[in-house]
Amino acid sequence: MDGLAKEADLIEDALLTIAWDVDDVLNDLMRLWLEHAWRPANPDCSVRYEDLNENPPNNIIGVKLEEYLTSLDSFRLSGIYDDMKPVEEIKDWFLVNGNKYRHIALTAVPIAAAPLSARWVFNNFGPWIRTFHFVPSSREQERIPEYDKDKGEYLKWLGKVDVLIDDNETNIRAARTAGVRGILVPRPWNGCNNTLSESLAILGKEL
């Protein structure tokens, strides 16, 4: 039995580790915030999700950054966030391929929203994602220690991740400086020319 256990451990340790961004990768936070929070509260706003070619999108919706962040944070702290469905295609990918890799969550959220984000991850991806990590998003009213300025520095410190999947091109570049491969998920605000299926297929073809 000891020999079999050791062999199983070696197989498990050979699995690549994927770090998944949470909001706008595993879920559709920005789309749902726009459709269920911002536009109902601002009926004169005609901006569509497809129009959000910048993130943060405060200039597109015509407000200051702090007003946008306050609205987004309120949405995060609402029951709607808890009830969000995972991106169906990504959930289907996990059902078929999740056991081929190790998985962690690595997100950037304000401290107040981190417990809700973690709960959402484990409620929806708990069979595969076993740990939750976050780099706090700064807020004017908060004064907290800064351990890492971005996900790249965090990944370098952690030293366990092989691949980062994210919707933010800056995070992908930062990950690469830490020796971590990056896969960009297509969203209106980034330069990804792949479909979501094509981005996910990279995991099986090139890694």
133-143 pLDDT, tens digit per residue, is 999 998 877 78
Inter-axis angle of helices 169-177 and 151-158, nearest 10: 30
Quickly state the pLDDT bin for 198 (edges 50, 70, 90). very high
Q: What is the dihedral of CA 60, 61, 65, 71, to 10 degrees?
A: -140
Two tokens, residue 171: 């995070």
Q: Residue 182, SS3?
A: strand
Burial string for 147-160 (b: 16+ CB within 10 Å, else e) reads: eeebbbbbbbebee
How many residues are recorded in the chain? 207
CA proximity to 168, closest of 150, 144, 155, 143: 150
- On whether the CB atoms of residues 57 and 72 are closer than 8 A, the answer is no
108 DSSP assignment: -
Task: Tell me the per-residue pLDDT of 73-84, one tens digit each, with 9 for 90 and over.
Answer: 999 999 899 999
Residue type present at position 163? V
pLDDT of 152 above 90: yes
CA distance 129 to 155: 16
Specify whether the CB–CB gap between 162 and 180 falls below 8 A.
yes
Q: What is the pLDDT of residue 205?
A: 73
The predicted model gives 21-34 an average pLDDT of 98
- Distance of alpha carbon 37 from alpha carbon 10, whole angstroms: 48
Structural domain spans, the chain: 2-27+86-206, 31-82
Q: What pLDDT score does 8 carry?
A: 47
Give pLDDT, residue 3: 52
pLDDT band at 13 (very low <50, low <70, confident <90, very high): low
Encoded tokens for 134: 């976050």
Q: What is the pLDDT of residue 179?
A: 96
Confidence of residue 188 (pLDDT cuts 50, 70, 90): very high
pLDDT digits over 92-137, tens only? 999 999 999 999 999 999 999 999 999 999 999 999 999 999 999 9
pLDDT at residue 57 is higher than 90: yes
Confidence of residue 206 (pLDDT cuts 50, 70, 90): low
Fold adopted by 2-27+86-206: Rossmann fold (3.40.50)
Contact 23, 114 (CB under 8 A): no
Q: Give the chain's radius of gyration (CA, Å).
A: 18
Banded model confidence at residue 207, pLDDT cuts 50, 70, 90: low
Which residues contact residue 6 at a Cβ distance below 8 angstroms, ignoring those fewer than 6 apart? none
Stated pTM of the model: 0.91
Mean pLDDT of the chain: 92
